[in-house]
Structure 1
Amino acid sequence: MSADHPALRAEGVTVALGGRIALQDAHLSVGAGEPVGLIGPNGAGKTTLLRAVLGLVPLTAGRVLVAGRPVSQARGLIGYVPQRHEFAWDFPVDIAGAVLSGRTRRIGPLRRPGAADHAAVDRALELTALTDLRRRPVGELSGGQRQRVLVARALAAEPRILLLDEPFTGVDVRTQALLNELFGRLAEDGTALLMTTHDLPSAARTCARIVLLNRTVVAEGGPDVLADPDRMLRAFGLDGTAKPAAGGEAAA
C-alpha cells in the first residue's frame, strides 16, 4: 500500500437508493493502521457507505479510492464483516469451511485451496480464538461465536482494509473484549479499520477517530467527539440540521 495515499478515501460520495438520497457529498479517509468508527442513527447511510466502498452500490456522484486506486482495481485489499443476519447460518458447513470461503477471490474458480489458503485460515482461526471449534457446524454457534466466524472469514483474505458493520451488536462480554483487543492488534500491524457501531463505549475504546454521519459527514475527531453534545445532536438530527435518509435497512 503506497505511503502517498490513505488506505481508503471517499470523495463527495453521493448514493441514491429507490429514488431517495441515502448519502450526499460524503467525504472521509482512513489511514493505514487507523481504526475509525462510523457513528450515526438508523437510516443515516452507514451501511450504504460501506457498500459503496465495496463497489456494491452505484455512485450518483463522487468516487472511492483504495490505496489511491479505484475500487475495481483494489478489491483484494478489502475485507468485509457484514451484519450477522446477512450470512446463511443454516448452510451445512463447519467453522473452518466458512472461514475458508473468505479466500474464494484469491483461490479463484474451479481451483482447490492450497497450503497458503489453509495457513491463512489457521491464522484467522487463531486470531479469533476459534481453533478448537474449527469442526463445529456453524448452525450450532452462539451469537458471539458467529460474529467471530465472520471476522475470521474476512481476515482469511489477508486484507489491508477491514470494513465492519456493527461488529459488537448482540455479542457477549467475552467476545466484545476479544474483538476490541483483536482490532487494536490489527491496527498496530497496519490494517485500516472502518466500523459502524451503535456501541459508543466500544467505539471510544477501539477507535482513534470518530466520524459522525447522517447522510453526510456531520463531524469528525477523536473519541471525545462522542462527549460533545452539540455535534452528537447534529449527527442524530435532534436539532433539525440533519435528517436520516428514508429507506430503513437499505440506508442504514
Structure 2
Amino acid sequence: MERKSIINFGITTGNYSSFVNHIVTLAHHKESANVCVANVHMFIEAYKDKTFNSIINDATVVTPDGKPLTWVLRYVYGIRQDRVAGMDLLPDLLQQMMLKKLPAFFYGGTPALLEKTENYLRYAFPDLPVAGMYSPPFRPATKEEEDKLVDKINSSGAAVVLVILGCPKQERWMASMKGRINAVMIGVGGALPVMVGMQKRAPAWLQHLGLEWLFRLMQEPRRLFRRYVITNSLFIYLFFKKIFNRQRGIKA
C-alpha cells in the first residue's frame, strides 16, 4: 500500500476496504507486522519526539484515523482519502477474522475491560477464535516476563494481537515486539471500550465534521482537556504553516 508523508509523518493511503483486506492477508500469513491507527494526538506526539516519529514511519501500516489527517491529504496531495478509524476498523476486522477463523489475542486494558470484551464477543462474534487475553501490570515488564509473554502469544496461535495500551505506549510496545511476535499487532486504544459499550461514540454528524474529539472531551474533560487544547492547537498551527510554505514554494 502507498504511503504519503505530512511533515515527515507517513500515512498509508487507500480505500477503507483495502486496509481491512491487507490486514487480513498479513494475519493469514502470520506476518510479524504492526498497524498504527493515527489521529491528531499521535501526529503531534511524533512531531515532538523524533524517536516516536521513527516508530510510526517504520510501522507496516499507518491508518488515517483522524478526520483532519484526511483533510490534509486532500489539500496537499489531492487524495480523497477514506477515514480509517479504529472504531470502525475493529469490528469490521473481527468480523472478517471470524469468517476466516483467524484467532485474536487481546493484550492490554484492565481486567474489567477484558471481562466485558469476553462477554461482548460471545454474542457479537460467537465464532471468533479467541487465542487469549492478558491485562499487564501497571509497571514495566521484566525481561523474563516479556519473554514469557512472547512465548504465550506465539504458542496461542494468534493471527492478530489487539493492543489496548493507549498512544504512544501501544505503538512503542508493538515496535519492540515486531519480529518477535508472529502475528499482526494493531493498536486499538480507545476503540475497544466503545465497541463493548463501556464508552459512547460521537454521533455521525460530529464524526463527519472532524469533531469527535469534542464529544470525547465532554465525556472526560479532566483527563482530556490539556491533551486536546495543546495537540489540536499545534496541529492547526502546523497545518496553516504548511499552507503558507506551500504557497511560497517552501517544502515542509
TM-score of the aligned structures, taking structure 1 as reference length: 0.32
- Structure with more contact order per residue of length (Cα contacts < 8 Å, sep ≥ 6): 1
* Structure with the bigger percentage of strand: 1
